[in-house]
Amino acid sequence: MLAIWELFQNYINTTPPDVVATDIVLYIGWFPVFCILVWGFTQVWIDIKQGQYWDNLKWDLLTVTIPADAIHSVKGIENFFNNLSGSKSAITWKEKWLDGKFQAYFSFEIISNGGQVQYYIRTIKKYRDLVEAALYAQYPDAQIIEVEDYINLIPDDYPNEEYECFGSELSLSKKEHFPIKRYVDFEHAGEKDLRFKDPLLPMLEMLGKMKPGEFYWIQMLIIGPDSQDWKKDAIKWMKKQYGIEEPKKKGIIDESVGWIPGAFAEQLLGRPFGASEEKKADDFRMWKMTPDEQDTLKAVGQKQKEIGWYSKIRFVYVAKKELFRKGTIASMTKGIFLQYDSGMNKLSLTENVTTKDDYFFQAWQMPGKQKKLVDRYKNRLFGGTTPYILTASELATLWHFPGPDARTPVLTSLGARMAEAPRELGYAPNELSILPNFERSATDVEGSSTMREKTADYIPESPTPHAPTQEQDPYPVEVKSDSLPVMTPAETFVENKQSDDMPVFRPG
């Protein structure tokens, strides 16, 4: 070992520094390139495995309807998103690298098909019970039904002979630890009570004004991060505002030549080797902050206390060419999302994803952008812009059910509450008939004619029910056969005929 050290010292003393630097690049410079290649290979491997894992997942699309007289609370939806964090699991090395497993993620959607507004939740099948339990805990009277996917209502390829497409993805203007405006910021103190100015109402009104042949879909994807490391940046920024300076790390050059003896490193770099000198902390920084800076510090501190989700928000507007109104929809969409500007952060349309043709080169790119945007929406993919962290309170602000005082007629709602049958009510086994067989002949059972005559005293004559007449829905929601039962018109289960041997009972 001593001989190697003497040989190295002799090489340093007899070789010019520029030659030493050249030798380092020739004999060691391949190592960073090798590391980059290994990193790229691992990323491709993970993408392949995650794609295989994705293909084997089973999904459920649920439509959620809330009774008009139900008690609505955005805080309840915040609790709902917090409950969904129970889907997070510790992924082992084998699950990550061999199975391609990733954290569960969900899609929350608000859509308008020709003016019919509906809420949807898409979840992995094994987490459906978690979603329903978390939602029923906040809305016991909610109706959750599994339905067929609606994505085939619009075409896949563009340009299209019949339809035009406009859409984009939303991104944060600043770093993700700065919050957007939350629902508590939309509460205004009135003379007697605290009024909540629902920021979703302008969006619902816009969706309700869509005409048949217009489709406006909004999608919010969330996935739980493997860790809450995003909070480290928030804490680091907060410490800086308090005047607490963390020790600075060594620079890239210092790190790269850290194995070289200090004397030679100083000669090679031309300056003292080691970390740069730390600045003295400002103990009075906190007292010099403006009110706006104090509010920002408080808001960042509040956000880092909550559970964060990697999020992606996109919207798609597709309409027949004679109904397409890109300028109006673009202006309304920008205005709707600008109201979430907190002064610290805001949601805005992403330039390189937005489908626009203001210049000739944008017109060339627009068909490809349209196709990618629609494909990512239909497959609920995280591709496109980089996901960002939104907390449960921010997600609840962007996706919740409007209150009963919203007075918006466009939202599909239940006219009445659904309740279970009384516990003391008996039931008949499946193999038994619930109603007596009145068509049985009088000669089958002795005394049956007498029983029919007695039964007639308790059965009043009733008119045959008919289905109410209503306008045909151009975009009906297709309910899966294995999902919850849905109320149907009376004519579908009442047969309006009378047998010749069936007696007619009249009271009296």
Kindly tell me if the per-residue pLDDT of 500 is higher than 70. no
Q: Is residue 474 part of a domain?
A: no
Kindly tell me if the per-residue pLDDT of 475 is higher than 80. no
| pLDDT tens figures, 338-362 | 999 999 999 999 988 999 888 888 8
Q: Is residue 493 part of a domain?
A: no
Whole-angstrom Cα distance, residue 42 to residue 77? Answer: 38
Whole-angstrom Cα distance, residue 391 to residue 300? Answer: 11
| pLDDT tens figures, 206-259 | 999 999 999 999 999 999 888 878 888 889 888 888 877 766 665 544 555 454
Kindly tell me if the per-residue pLDDT of 410 is higher than 80. no
* pLDDT value at residue 13: 74
Q: Is residue 220 part of a domain?
A: yes
| pLDDT tens figures, 78-126 | 999 999 998 888 888 898 899 989 898 899 999 999 999 999 999 999 9
**Cβ contact 100:51 at 8 Å:** yes
Q: Which domain holds residue 385?
A: 57-228+307-406
Q: Tell me the pLDDT of the chain averaged across its residues.
A: 78
Q: Is residue 210 part of a domain?
A: yes
CATH of the domain at 365: 3.40.462
* pLDDT value at residue 497: 44
**What's the mean pLDDT in 491-499?**
42
* pLDDT value at residue 333: 94
Q: Is residue 338 part of a domain?
A: yes
* pLDDT value at residue 30: 78
Q: How many CB atoms lie within 10 A of CB 49?
A: 18
Q: Is residue 140 part of a domain?
A: yes
| pLDDT tens figures, 170-200 | 999 999 999 999 998 887 655 445 567 888 9
Q: Is residue 379 part of a domain?
A: yes
* pLDDT value at residue 433: 52
Kindly tell me if the per-residue pLDDT of 430 is higher than 70. no
| pLDDT tens figures, 256-278 | 545 455 555 555 555 555 545 55
Q: Is residue 389 part of a domain?
A: yes
**What's the mean pLDDT in 138-152?**
92
- Cα–Cα distance list, 103 to 10, 95, 204, 318 (Å): 56, 11, 31, 31
Most confident of 126-140, 240-254, 427-441, 458-472: 126-140
Whole-angstrom Cα distance, residue 337 to residue 310? Answer: 19
* Dihedral sign from CA coordinates of 119, 122, 126, 131: negative
pTM over 0.85: no
Instruction: Give the total number of structural domains in the chain.
Output: 1
* pLDDT value at residue 492: 41
